[in-house]
Amino acid sequence: MAEQTLSPGPSRAGFDWKRRFPWAHIILRHPQARIGLVIVLLLAAMGVFAPLLVPGDPNDFVAIPNRAPSAEYPLGTDPLGRNELALVVWGARESLAIGFGTAAVAILVATVVGMIAGYFGGLLDDVLVLIMNLFLVIPGLPLLILLAAYLRPSTATVILALALTGWAFHARIIRAVTLSLREKDYVAAAIVAGEGNLHIIFRQILPNMINLIVGGFIGTSIYGIAASTALAFLGLTDMEAVSWGTNLFYAQNGNSLLLGAWWVFVPSGLLVALSALGLAWINYGMDEITNPRLRAERELRNALRGTKLQRVRATPVMRREH
Amino acid sequence: MKFILRRLGFYLIAFWAALTLDFILPRLLPGDPAAAILGPIGSRMTQVQIAALRQALGLTEAPLFQQYLTFVTHVFQGDLGVSYSAFPAPVTQVIGTSLRWTLLLGITSLLISFTLGHLIGILGAWRRGSAFDVVMPPLFNFIGAFPAFFLALGAVYFFGMQLKWFPIAHAAKDHLPPGWTVEYIGSVLHHLALPLTVSVLVNLQVWIQTMRNNMVSVLAEDYITMAEAKGLTQNRIMFGYAARNAFLPSITGFGIFLGSILSGQVLIEQVFAYPGLGYLLTKAVGARDYPLMGGLFLGITAGVLLVNFLVDIVYTWVDPRVRAE
């Protein structure tokens, strides 16, 4: 039984993606990660196809404010008399775009800065590490609020402000990993072979950090979605651009709570939590890649299922059959 | 000692960076900063008034470097300017009144979530895969995925407005004279209940996760197997052997969180109109009270840096490896 669950089996197609992208394979086999992936893809599809799902401008006034859900407006209307369903569906667009946009910018910066610092070392490393530590120690949310208050609010400026406050954490991790990968024999071999710095960074070191970068991207997306929702909730983003955060802003500032209009704040808040949860679940799968101990534990649990054997506290070690 | 001096140097640089940012941001506004800040009312002000305002903001015609020097000197003299929205109170005084509410909410929340989270983390790792471990950590993880202010909105709606069990705004009953009376303290606690619960729920999962993970790796160590082989009681192994070592990284975590007390409650305070620093910050942004905004940012940053420095000192004392470096 153990062999059945542990061996990936011979691949049918000519291209063996399991061997080529072992991390993608682990994620797809991880039950929680699979659910997370489905959730995130569904929410992203909702955002992408918003114009088809709920056609028209979500900012249009359609009925009296704070109206209870009905057949015509399944989620009722908000304090401005807008169709709440349209706001929630269109909100996915802006919220997810900001989340993924922030992650893309922040992780790009983190990777470049982290790898430069870790690879070249010396004074450059000292300066870059100092900058990273500065961004880590200065409190993020007040800085974010300050930036948002001074910048002209738009999707782009929000992404920039979030990326500015969110890049340093992963830059430090990537620097540390670069530092250790640089000492590996294959890097030494590449140097002896006369390869240039760029080749070594991009072809030798970077491929070994893909899982780290993907994990960082997902983590930063969660941060971007949550923090942009918070900023919008405080009224610090472009209020014309419908997002889950602006929906919550109007719920708080439009007497919806006082009138008992729960439908104005519950759906948007739930979707923010759901997207964060979905992304976090995908990252659990990523965790098993970086920390094989977790994976070994789960595989042991599966292998022992149905038997009377007992688990010991020591770290389980299992050999993978190939 | 060398370690501590190096950290001190770093925190001084960090404070200088925050200070400089606070100086540069208002000057990056497109066009005339004073006019931009005043917005529509600016047109109704006389030339003299605008000049006075520019003077108050430190936006004189003097060269930038000289403005910078004046700004830095004022900050080190404890002068952060005058708040617009609470005119003519100085910024430092406005911050002072809010600070105690933030500290009350933040410290109680940290102590409760820290203790509770560690207990759940220890028990979860100890009985890995048990019903407790399968239900509790993921449950709080799920709750923690919600934005703090969404939980706060839910609490306001359900416990404040529908059930009317708890007040929904402010830190104490209005018109009640502050003092060490039973009535006043009772009112403070009553007002604290909802924001505190939300804050604990949101922060709990961090402690559960870190403690559970640390426990899992510590439990795999040989000395734990040894302790089991010696036949020690389970409680002794759990707390005296495993949890004790798994707890070390939490000290750093505690320090980081202690710093974030000052800034971490912004959204919860906003929803409950709880008069702490975070509520003050969002109010200052809403009122375009730039001196107060800048002062709050500087004050919060200084507080966070100070706490971090104290934690570094404590850590050298707790972990001899750092001292040996």
Q: How many residues would you count in chain B?
A: 325
Q: How far is C-alpha A23 from the geometric centre of its chain's CA atoms?
A: 16
d(CA B181, CA B103) in angstroms, rounded, equals 20
Preferred mutation among B215, B279, B285, B308 to probe A, highest tally of A CBs within 10 A: B285
Least trusted range by pLDDT, from A225-239, A278-292, B104-118: A278-292
Model pLDDT, residue A105 = 97
From the CA of A17, how many Å to the nearest CA of chain B? Answer: 31
A104 pLDDT band, cuts 50/70/90, is very high
**Residue A221 at interface with chain B, using a CB cutoff of 8 Å:** no
Preferred mutation among A132, A147, A150, A252 to probe B, highest tally of B CBs within 10 A: A150
Preferred mutation among B212, B297, B300 to probe A, highest tally of A CBs within 10 A: B297
| Contacts with B304 from chain A: Cβ below 8 Å | 137-139
Instruction: Judge residue A278's burial from the number of C-beta atoms within 10 Å of its C-beta, 0-12 exposed, 13-18 middle, 19 or more buried.
Output: buried
Do the beta carbons of residue B160 and residue B167 sit within 8 Å? Answer: yes
**Residue B260 at interface with chain A, using a CB cutoff of 8 Å:** yes
Contact A280 B141 (CB under 8 A): yes
**Residue B17 at interface with chain A, using a CB cutoff of 8 Å:** yes
Using alpha carbons, select from A182, A264, A269, A163 the residue that is nearest to residue A221: A163
Q: Residue B279 belongs to what H/E stretch?
A: helix B277-286
| Domains of chain A, start order | 24-58+81-290 (1.10.3720.10), 292-322 (no CATH)
Please state, in angstroms and as integers, the Cα–Cα distance from residue B280 to each residue in B131, B293, B300, following that order: 44, 9, 12
Contact A269 B150 (CB under 8 A): yes
Count the alpha carbons within 13 Å of A297 in the hemisphere toward its beta carbon: 18
Pick the most confident of A96-105, A241-250, A290-299, B153-162: A96-105
d(CA A137, CA B99) in angstroms, rounded, equals 20
Q: Is B37 helix (H, G, I), strand (E, B) or coil?
A: helix
Q: What is the chain A residue with the closest CA to B22?
A: A146
Model pLDDT, residue B188 = 84
Q: What backbone phi and psi angles, to 5 degrees, belong to B211?
A: -65, -40
Query: What fold is seen in the domain B97-287?
Result: MetI-like fold (1.10.3720)
d(CA B24, CA B40) in angstroms, rounded, equals 24
Model pLDDT, residue A15 = 67
Do the beta carbons of residue A92 and residue A272 sit within 8 Å? Answer: no
Q: What is the chain A residue with the closest CA to B296?
A: A142
Res A4 pLDDT > 60: no
Do the beta carbons of residue B121 and residue B206 sit within 8 Å? Answer: no
**Residue B56 at interface with chain A, using a CB cutoff of 8 Å:** no
For the stretch A28-51, pLDDT in tens is 778 888 899 999 999 999 999 989
| Contacts with B220 from chain A: Cβ below 8 Å | 293, 313-315
- How many Å is the Cα radius of gyration of chain A? 24
Instruction: Write the DSSP symbol of residue B82.
Output: B
At A1, the amino acid letter reads M
For the stretch A265-277, pLDDT in tens is 889 999 999 999 8
From the CA of A43, how many Å to the nearest CA of chain B? Answer: 16
Structural domain spans, chain B = 97-287
Which tokens hold the place of A137? Answer: 């120690």
From the CA of B87, how many Å to the nearest CA of chain A? Answer: 20
Model pLDDT, residue A284 = 81
| pTM score above 0.80 | yes
Q: How far is C-alpha B281 from the geometric centre of its chain's CA atoms?
A: 12
Model pLDDT, residue A44 = 95
Contact A142 B146 (CB under 8 A): no
| pLDDT by 10-residue block (mean), chain B, 325 residues | 86 92 77 58 65 67 78 81 73 86 91 93 87 87 83 86 81 76 83 91 89 86 88 88 85 76 83 88 83 88 89 78 63
Using alpha carbons, select from A129, A137, A128 the residue that is nearest to residue B14: A137
Model pLDDT, residue B314 = 82
Alpha helices (H) along chain A: 2-6, 17-20, 22-29, 31-48, 50-53, 84-120, 122-137, 140-150, 155-166, 168-181, 185-192, 197-199, 210-233, 244-253, 266-290, 292-304
Using alpha carbons, select from A264, A266, A268 the residue that is nearest to residue A65: A264
Q: How many residues would you count in chain A?
A: 322
Model pLDDT, residue B208 = 92
Which tokens hold the place of B196? Answer: 């505190």
Mean pLDDT in chain A? 84
A159 pLDDT band, cuts 50/70/90, is very high
ipTM > 0.90 (yes/no): no
Q: How far is C-alpha B7 from the geometric centre of its chain's CA atoms?
A: 21
Instruction: Judge residue B314's burial from the number of C-beta atoms within 10 Å of its C-beta, 0-12 exposed, 13-18 middle, 19 or more buried.
Output: middle
For the stretch A163-222, pLDDT in tens is 999 999 999 999 999 998 988 899 889 989 988 888 898 888 988 888 789 889 999 999
DSSP assignment of A39-105 equals HHHHHHHHHHTHHHHS-S-TTSB-SSTTPPP-SSSTT-B-TTSBBHHHHHHHHHHHHHHHHHHHHHH
